[in-house]
């Protein structure tokens, strides 16, 4: 207790007490007699828990005050006990109980909210059955769509905000059309730029609509970058919402009006803060955003009701004064409904007594009184679960156990109605699309056709693709792309490779590596695990290159584009590297950063390999050799040759023409759902592989 941090907290607490004691409150006129001098009679209706202010007023008014005690001697109604296996069954049983009571004409039905998550589940089940609910408990204003739109606007204007946050904001702006926003998103994802401020004019292409939208977004964001007082920030936020078209939407929505009121965004409401000294302190956008978030988190929102609701959701304590014919009381387990609620943390028992806060004993008394009153409803269905979502065992509340031991109530039958459903199996899709046969084919697209015809149909014939992630972490695929660019730049920069020393080549490779990180906009921090292994990769590659050049091989081209006509079909592709051999032939190489075992597995059956054979088909006039060059992150470089390249290329050309003729003739393109190809397939959700009937 003598730690410096605790000493500081104690000093702050003492200052807070002094400040609270010296501050004025809205209730002061009540207690000093200013507003009660002309009161002829005060009637205090007692509830489950004593309230200090009504008690103080009654004491102050003396004979002019009358206190009516709470009637607690009413008879207990009919109680039905429901023991559910888990939270899902409990929600289903509770919803079924509500439907039973509605069918009996008991409208409205009270639904006690002892567990908010459980109550939401029950509400969702009732919503699917068309039941109208009125939720009197409300929820945090920050969780409403209107408040989320306001916070998205403020966060999107931060100078270092991520591109995803800005795109989320733009998708809710009436001032920018959805088609323009989609165009902006495609450009952002194509550039893979995480921070919006790093995007430049060239990233938007030549479309005038995208350029104009980008300029407007820049103007909106730049207008929010300066520091302001609280009142000035309210005006700036109001102007931003008005210019983006969100202001009118907020005013037309109940939650939006509550958000405007809570943040004092209306000019007339903001004037209330003019004389508050703290409102004159200048703050940054980040500080204003944090303040707005705290305000929205502290305000509750209760939506307006039409008055014809069939179910009323309210806390257990608020059943007092609400006569209902029936009550459904879920969440009566030991965690959600303890006999003695835990007092809010932060105050000791002595401090609670000093501040007039209820003690644990008083909270227990109020809980038991609310429980007793709830069970006075003519019909009450009480539910609890035997285990929570983690599978841990759970007991009924002590309040439930006490009544069960007394013999009150009776076990109820499962109110859920069983119904028979005829299951229809989901079969693998097998489309036909002769009219979509492509006129061009690459090595990767033909590999898709061989591995899974449906994958070829979805990704190549329909042209579907996953949206690129902006915030994706740097992974081994990024490392492979980077290494391809590094080796291309390195070899093209060596005008006379034989004349360069080992040290000069290493320097060129390092320069190409740095240039690759910058050109691909890789985050150096996230790329650090791969960069740490770069010295080993560099030295291993230089060792292999020296041995390779000793055979007389000379670098020719890198990342070169090739195409060849095969009947009515055009084969096209990009070859990682082509070297000239001293025999007059060429060596085609494809870099692989996968495990050496996987690379060798590609050549286990050479005639099954399509990539190198496809490259050979692209170069029909050359005497070719082909190999995979496996480059490990540990610096090991191994070459895996294709031993039957000519035969493989011939068989591939025949197979390509035969397969595409079959597709053009209406042959089905079934989803195979086999092998490793399904593990990372972008079309897996489309073919619904996980839902097939075995």
Look at residue 581 in the predicted model and tell me its pLDDT. Answer: 93
Look at residue 679 in the predicted model and tell me its pLDDT. Answer: 84
The β-bridge relationship of strands 65-68 and 42-45 is parallel
User: Torsion angle, CA of 358/363/365/371, rounded to 10 degrees?
Assistant: 140
What would the two tokens of residue 569 be?
Answer: 């079909």
Mean pLDDT, consecutive 10-residue segments, the chain of 694 residues? 76 85 79 81 89 86 89 85 94 96 93 91 94 88 94 94 92 91 87 80 81 92 92 93 95 94 86 77 94 94 84 90 92 91 80 82 90 93 90 91 92 90 86 93 92 93 82 77 92 73 90 87 78 91 93 92 91 93 92 91 87 92 91 91 92 92 93 85 88 72
CA distance 330 to 112: 7
Q: DSSP labels for 378-447? A: SEEEEEEESB-TT--B-PBPHHHHHHHHTT-SEEPPP-PPP-------BPPP----GGG--SEE-HHHHH
Cβ–Cβ under 8 Å, residues 333 and 385: yes
Look at residue 496 in the predicted model and tell me its pLDDT. Answer: 58
CA distance 93 to 275: 55
Structural domains of the chain in order of their starting residue, each with its CATH number:
23-70 (no CATH), 78-138+308-339+371-411 (3.40.50.300), 142-301 (1.10.486), 436-664 (3.90.320)
Element (H, E) at 168: helix 163-170
Q: What is the pTM of this model?
A: 0.72
CB-based burial, 206-220: b 16+ in 10 Å, e otherwise: eeeebeebbeebeeb
What would the two tokens of residue 171 be?
Answer: 């998708």
Look at residue 358 in the predicted model and tell me its pLDDT. Answer: 86
Look at residue 497 in the predicted model and tell me its pLDDT. Answer: 52
CA distance 653 to 312: 71
Residue 217: partners with Cβ closer than 8 Å, 6 or more residues away: 166, 170, 176
N residues, the chain: 694
Q: Where are the beta strands (DSSP E) in 183-318?
A: 300-301, 311-314
Q: DSSP labels for 680-693? A: T-TTHHHHTGGGB-
- Of 81, 694, 52, 58, nearest to 380 by C-alpha is 81
- The separation between the first and the last C-alpha atoms of the chain, rounded to the nearest angstrom, is 64
Angle separating helix axes 87-103 and 116-128, nearest 10 degrees: 50
CA distance 659 to 662: 5
CA distance 308 to 132: 8
Look at residue 105 in the predicted model and tell me its pLDDT. Answer: 92
Angle separating helix axes 502-519 and 534-550, nearest 10 degrees: 130
Nearest 5 degrees, angle CA 491-CA 495-CA 501? Answer: 80
CA distance 441 to 563: 10
- Of 85, 239, 270, 58, nearest to 157 by C-alpha is 239
CA distance 624 to 643: 11
CA distance 374 to 367: 11
Tell whether the torsion through CA atoms of 605, 610, 612 and 617 is positive or negative.
positive
Look at residue 495 in the predicted model and tell me its pLDDT. Answer: 61
């Amino acid at each position: 207790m003598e730690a410096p941090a605790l000493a500081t907290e104690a000093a702050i607490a003492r200052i807070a007490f002094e400040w609270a004691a010296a501050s004025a409150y809205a209730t002061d006129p009540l207690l000093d007699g200013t507003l009660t001098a002309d009161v002829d009679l005060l009637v205090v209706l007692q509830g489950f828990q004593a309230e200090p202010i009504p008690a103080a007023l009654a004491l102050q008014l003396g004979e002019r005050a009358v206190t009516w005690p709470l009637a607690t001697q009413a008879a207990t109604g009919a109680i039905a006990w429901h023991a559910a296996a888990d939270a899902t069954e409990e929600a289903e049983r509770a919803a079924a109980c509500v439907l039973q009571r509605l069918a009996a004409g008991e409208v409205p039905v009270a639904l006690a909210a002892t567990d908010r998550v459980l109550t939401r589940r029950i509400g969702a089940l009732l919503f699917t059955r068309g039941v109208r609910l009125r939720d009197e408990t409300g929820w945090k204003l920050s969780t409403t769509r209107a408040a989320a739109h306001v916070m998205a606007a403020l966060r999107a204007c931060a100078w270092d905000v991520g591109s995803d946050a800005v795109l989320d904001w733009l998708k809710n702006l009436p001032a920018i059309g959805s088609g323009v926003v989609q165009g902006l998103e495609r450009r952002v994802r194509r550039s893979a730029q995480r921070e919006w401020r790093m995007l430049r004019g060239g990233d938007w292409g030549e479309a005038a609509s995208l350029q104009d939208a980008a300029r407007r977004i820049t103007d909106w964001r730049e207008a929010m970058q300066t520091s302001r007082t609280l009142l000035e920030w309210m005006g700036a936020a109001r102007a931003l919402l008005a210019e983006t078209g969100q202001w009118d939407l907020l005013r037309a929505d109940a939650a939006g009006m509550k958000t405007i009121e809570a943040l004092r965004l209306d000019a007339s409401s903001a004037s209330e803060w003019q004389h508050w000294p703290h409102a004159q302190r200048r703050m940054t956008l980040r500080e204003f955003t944090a303040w707005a978030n705290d305000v929205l988190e502290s305000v509750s929102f209760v939506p307006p009701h039409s008055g014809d609701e069939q179910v009323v959701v309210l806390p257990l304590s608020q059943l007092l004064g609400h006569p209902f014919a029936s009550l459904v009381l879920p969440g009566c387990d030991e965690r959600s409904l303890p006999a003695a609620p835990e007092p809010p943390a932060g105050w000791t028992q002595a401090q609670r007594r000093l501040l007039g806060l209820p003690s644990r004993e008083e909270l227990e008394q109020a809980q038991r009184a609310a429980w007793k009153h709830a069970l006075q409803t003519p019909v009450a269905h009480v539910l609890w679960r035997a285990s929570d979502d983690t599978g841990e065992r759970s007991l009924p509340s002590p309040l439930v156990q006490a009544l069960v031991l007394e013999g009150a109530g009776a076990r109820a039958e499962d109110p859920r109605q069983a119904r028979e459903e005829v299951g229809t199996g989901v079969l693998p899709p097998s489309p036909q699309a002769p009219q979509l046969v492509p006129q061009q084919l690459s090595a990767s697209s033909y590999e898709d056709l061989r591995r899974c015809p449906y994958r070829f149909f979805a990704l190549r014939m329909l042209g579907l693709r996953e949206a690129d992630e902006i915030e994706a972490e740097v992974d081994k695929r990024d490392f492979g792309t980077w290494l391809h660019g590094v080796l291309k730049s390195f070899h093209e920069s060596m005008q006379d490779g034989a004349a360069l020393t080992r040290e000069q080549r290493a320097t060129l490779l390092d320069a190409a590596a740095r240039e690759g990180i910058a050109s691909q906009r890789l985050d150096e921090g996230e790329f650090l695990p791969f960069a740490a292994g770069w010295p080993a990769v560099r030295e291993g590659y230089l060792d292999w290159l020296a041995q390779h050049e000793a055979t007389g091989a000379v670098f020719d081209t890198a990342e070169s584009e090739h195409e060849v006509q095969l009947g009515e079909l055009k084969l096209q592709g990009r070859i990682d590297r082509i070297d000239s051999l001293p025999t007059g032939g060429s060596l085609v190489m494809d870099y692989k950063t996968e495990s050496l075992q996987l690379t060798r597995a590609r050549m286990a059956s050479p005639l099954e390999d399509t990539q190198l054979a496809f490259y050979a088909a692209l170069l029909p006039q050359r005497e070719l050799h082909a190999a995979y060059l496996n480059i490990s992150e540990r610096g090991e470089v191994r070459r895996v040759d294709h031993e039957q390249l000519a035969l493989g290329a011939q068989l591939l050309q025949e197979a390509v023409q035969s397969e595409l003729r079959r597709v053009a003739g209406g042959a089905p393109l079934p989803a195979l759902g086999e092998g490793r190809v399904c593990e990372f397939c972008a079309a897996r959700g489309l073919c619904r592989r996980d839902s097939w009937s075995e």
